[in-house]
Every structure is written in C-alpha cells, then in structure tokens.
Amino acid sequence: MRIAVTCFLLALVLAPHAVFAREYRPDALDKQLNAIGDARLLAMPIQHLLDPQRSAAAHRLLRWRLPFWILATAAEFFALFYLWNSGNAARLRDLLRRTIRGDAVAEFAMGASIVLVFRFAGLIPNYAQYRLDRDLGRSEVLGAQWLWIWLLGTITAMLVGGALLAVVFRLLARTKRWYLPTAAILAIAAFVGSMLYPVIVVPVLWPRHEPSIQLANENRALAASFGIAQIPVRVAQADYAGLSERVVAAGIFTTREILASLSIERAYSFRERAFLLARVDAMLAARLPVRRTTIDLLLVLLGVSVAVVLSERLGVRRDDDPLARVALLAALLVLAYAAIAPVDLAMRRSAVYASDAAAVAMTHDPAAAVRALVRQGDHRVEGLCPSAAALLFVDPHPPLGARIARIEGRPDPCR
C-alpha cells in the first residue's frame, strides 16, 4: 500500500498539464450562424445548419466508437476470465500470501493486481479511441499527457479496488450479511467522491480554471428563477473536449459549481450563454447531480449482484477459494455493466431532453437554443443522427437532430 500511495503522489506531482492551452477562435460555422436571423434559422432544414465536413467527420467517429468499445469490453472480460481460468489468479494468491504478512494486505494487493490487469487490457482500444478524437479535433490532450492521465486513473483505481476488496473480506469473516455494510460503504464513497470531484480531480486534470465574474453575473437572475442559490462559475483557460457540453455542473451539496469551456465567452452570444446556463440551473434545481450519483450507485450494486449470481453458477476449480475467484467475479462484472449500459445511457439522454425543455421555457428563446446546440455539436464533432447501436451502448447524448426538432416543435428527423 505504501508503494502504491507513493507512486500515486509522484504521478500527481510530476504529471504535466492535461490540456494544451490555446486561444479559442470562432470558426466559419460560428460566423455563419451569427449572420442568420432568428426566423430564418428556425425555418431552415436542420441538416443545412451543420458544417458538411464536420458532419462527415462525425459519421467516421461514430463508425469507429462502437467497435472500439466492443474491443475494450471484450479485452477486459477475456483478460480477467483468463486470469481465473488459467489458474494464474490462484498462483498470484499463493505468491501474495507467501510474501506478504497479514491477510488484509494480501487481499489489498490482490484487488490492486486485478484492477491493474483490467486497466491494461483496455489500454490499446482506449488509446485508439483517444487518437481518433485527437485526429478529428475533439481533444487537445497530447499523447504523453493522455498516458499520464491514464496512469493517475490506474493508480487511483488500484488503491480503491484494493481497499474495497480488503474491507469486503474483513466483513466476510465477521458476518454473513456482508453485502449490507458493503453497500453502505459504496454509498458513502460515491457521495464523497462526487463532492471531492471539483476540489481534487478538476484542478489536477484541468488546472487552468479561473472564476468567471461575467458568467456568474449572467447566471444570477437565471439561478434565482429556478429557485436555487448563486453558484460559483469557473472557466477553463484552454478549450478541451472534456467539457463536451461546454457548460456543466460539478460536485454536489456544498461543493457544487459550474464549469464552462473557454469557447463560451469567445464564440457564444449572451442569449446562447443564457440557454446553456439555464440548462445547468434546471439540472441543479431538479437535483440531477445527486440523483445521478444515486442512480450510478444503484447500477453498480445491480451489476455486482448479477456478477455474484453468475459466478455462483459456474464450476469451481480445485485451486479456487473466494480470493482467487474475485478475478472471475470481476470478469462477469464487465459483462454485467455492458448489459446495463443501454439503461444508463437512456436515462442520461432523458435528463438532457428535460433540461433542454426547462431552459427554453425559462428563456423563451428557441432560436438561441438552436444556435447554441449547433455550435456545441460542431465543436465536439457531433452528427445529426447517430446510429441506433451507438446510442444503445456508447453515446450518452441525444441525437442533435432530435434535440433541435423538439425545441422547434418539428418531427424528429432521426426516427
């Protein structure tokens, strides 16, 4: 544990900035949108609002995102399943117990090792996905910086996974109802992690954030209209794809704040910013971040339950014991999450539709909403209507065409 913590702190200190700073400059589509009047904008066919080259790039992106997701999921599952089925998990268990004093430390090391196998298995497909995003202009993160972020995430996951496994095995030794305190521990960790996200994660991965007096002033009346208190607003001093929605809520309870990308102040008009800020205010008024954390927690517990049931249905190796069998449980957990993903993504898209409707109802400016969505879709290379398979498994955002059609009261072009 000391070695893992030391590696984490060193990576944290030595990691370079996660974004390559540059001045944001409006592109051709930004100028084209600014030149179109409101009435004409709302009457134009939706596909005519998009940049044809960016739309073609979006189709290329969506064509590869699903195969990369399938490859990453399959690699993670088979790596963990092979670790158990080959007997290597049992051999690793024996090695740890021989060389490490104390069962709790050996269990921690076993959990960290399984997480490391999981992370390495998905490294190549995830890196390929990053390269695709980089080539299409969705990300400004450099290759070395992406690897640093991956390393920080891996070490963090190893620490969390190892600690969780050690705690669960201590509970197993004391009570048959280990799942009840385990669920409570996961709930506490989920809400504490959500609270600490803007305090720890955002400054580490995206350090160039500064308070925005302009956006805070613009949002004061909007926030009051939704019945919520004034919320701090910070703007990234470099534009990056991490803020795919351009304006997002971060944190819960006392740490909640609004994060915005640099393009908001440079390319979006006052009316468009009002729509995007109103969307976030609507989410906060509906307590969506807290609900989202709760739903994610329930999905985690459901996935664990499904994986436990499936693992009990499989045969037991002669060298098996509960510790070695954790590798099999982790492999089945990957499959369980793949099966649950469509439900999770559908709920996320439903929340986006609801926040769009609430923001338009508050601002009474559908033209500004359409401009903001088109501009945002262009910046993150979003097509008009992604495939059903992409929506089912990899894309948490509703189709751009469907969002605009709902705002304008038109038939959905993606059906």
Q: Are 409 and 64 in contact (CB under 8 A)?
A: no
Q: Which residue has the higher pLDDT, 138 or 44?
A: 44
Indicate whether 14 pLDDT > 80. no
Mean of the per-residue pLDDT values of the chain? 83
Number of helices and strands in the chain (H, E): 18, 4
Instruction: Give the domain ranges of the chain.
Output: 2-408
Helices assigned H by DSSP within 122-255: 123-135, 143-172, 179-196, 202-205, 213-225
Q: How confident is the model at residue 248 (pLDDT cuts 50, 70, 90)?
A: confident
Q: Are 334 and 80 in contact (CB under 8 A)?
A: yes
- Surface-to-core class of residue 25, CB atoms within 10 Å of its CB (0-12 exposed, 13-18 middle, 19+ buried): exposed
**DSSP code for 343:** H
Residue 12 to residue 346: CA distance in whole angstroms: 35
Indicate whether 202 pLDDT > 80. no
Distance from the Cα of residue 388 to its chain's centroid:
20
Residue from 218, 324, 319 nearest 265 by CA: 218
Three-state SS for 267?
A: helix
Token pair of 32 as six digits? 């084209």
Q: What is the pLDDT of residues 141-189, one digit of tens each?
A: 777 878 888 888 899 899 999 999 999 888 888 887 877 888 888 888 8
End-to-end alpha carbon distance in the chain: 52
Distance from the Cα of residue 209 to its chain's centroid:
19
